[in-house]
Amino acid sequence: MSGGFRSRSAGRRSQESARNQESERKGQKNSRGDRRGQASRRGGASKRGPATRTGDAAREAAFDVLLRVSEEGAYANLALPALLRERKISGRDAAFATELTYGALRTQGVLDAVIAENSSRELDRIDPRVLAALRLGTYQLLYTRVSSHAAVDTSVRLVEAAGQGKAKGFANGILRTVDRSTPQQWFDRLTPSGALEAAAFRHAHPAWIARSFFAALGLDSESSPDQLAELERALESDSARPTVHLVARPGELSAEELALSIGGEEGTYSPYAVYLDEGDPGQLEPVRERLAAVQDEGSQLIARAVAEVPVEGDQGKWLDLCAGPGGKAALMGALARIDGASVDAVESSAHRAELVRKATDGLPVRVHTADGRDPGLAPGYDRVLVDAPCSGLGALRRRPEARWTKSERDIAELTTLQSELLASAIRLARPGGVIVYSTCSPDLRETRGVVDAALGDGGVEELDAAGFACGMEHTGEFPSVQMWPHRHGTDAMFFAVLRKK
């Protein structure tokens, strides 16, 4: 809710699809712990076909994606671009559809609170098609400059076109009531009383995620204005649209050459990073020729750290234990080629293993389809990366619906898997070898909790990871590195460096 109500940046909106291509990779990585709706999440068109016939292409597209997310577990950042291509929606209509879709999904918890305040039925008793239309209408009333009449009328027409004509009066009544108060009046009325809970509501996050961020930031006093301001900055950045980060393949193209060729800007930390403000990165010649790829700068730093930590007697035997979909494996492979080393890349999913093969084609990388907890490989690796499946809380800005679909209950299951994968990595490393443990989540249970448990077993010691973060500052109070969008412009990634005794 930062940035003011009823505001919209058309220029930024038109870049949304390009800026979210990196999240396809994140979505594939983080979906390993979530097995619901795997087929639909590949982003193809819904088998049910278009749900509406109103003549309003942008709102129909947004409506259908919201329905797929709620009913089929689809990933919006995959489903929306596919639907726009299928229906040949472009230009201003595509930009408007993008704004409505991602905006309504990002603020869903707030929208639902406003709808529930004005509904005679519990939300779970409202037909999903009616609820999707109500969310779109309420989003337009609270967060955009769309006229009240247009927001209400088009939403009611969506209800009718979806075969819910009997609910037209119900939807119209709710939206007319919402429109009788200003957006600020609704927020004042519904904001929770607790300081942390209020901050979470203002920035459209579940309270449990705000509490997780609060702890991961090293904050300890919810009554401190300075600490709450830090949390608010983190939550605000978590809802901002990210800049596209590209990686120049080492040994083939420098970041300077890539930036000059595409009109981008060299990255702040990674020596291979380039920032792209606008455009479709998939259409860039260096990307088409596989000289560059889309990869968050934080992800680049983690893969680089694996290659940079000193290892006495390095024999060039490297391992990526959780390689799908292949971004870090590709960067490790490029660095390994320079160093005369080779990489074994393990991925449990056959589909993602194939993605790793495509990403690392031509590099000294061998892909194994196996469970990283017991991959059937002989121990003795000099360098091991464990980019563990995680909750993905560090990449919420790339998947707008994820903050409302994830559950704190999932973390216990994930930390068990993460600990088992780290234990496997330690077994496979040789004495004196290094293990880099990373997640795209700042939650302390998935980061320091897993690392500290491994340290407690006594087989490894922790090194100062900040020394391998290319000058990045404010990375936390521990030897590990915790990145943040509001501090570093990266996803909220974590990595720790361990050495096997």
Whether residue 93 is annotated as binding a ligand: the answer is no
Buried-state track 438-473, b at ≥16 Cβ within 10 A, e below 16: bbbbbbbbbbbebbeebeeeeebebbebbebbbebe
Cα 482 to Cα 351, 364, 492: the distances in Å are 30, 30, 7
Q: Is 390 helix (H, G, I), strand (E, B) or coil?
A: coil
Alpha-helical runs (H) found in 125-263:
128-143, 148-161, 168-179, 183-190, 195-202, 207-216, 225-238, 255-262
Whether residue 33 is annotated as binding a ligand: the answer is no
CA 18 to chain centre: 14
- Residue type (1 letter), 294: V
- Residue type (1 letter), 377: L
Contact 336, 307 (CB under 8 A): yes
Whether residue 183 is annotated as binding a ligand: the answer is no
Whether residue 322 is annotated as binding a ligand: the answer is yes
Whether residue 29 is annotated as binding a ligand: the answer is no
Whether residue 431 is annotated as binding a ligand: the answer is no
Whether residue 387 is annotated as binding a ligand: the answer is yes
Contact 285, 258 (CB under 8 A): no
Whether residue 371 is annotated as binding a ligand: the answer is yes
Q: Is 55 helix (H, G, I), strand (E, B) or coil?
A: coil
Residues annotated as catalytic are 440
Contact 386, 414 (CB under 8 A): no
> β-pairing, 265-266 with 429-439?
unpaired
Annotated binding-site residue numbers: 322-328, 347, 371, 387
Residue list, annotated binding site for S-adenosyl-L-methionine: 322-328, 347, 371, 387
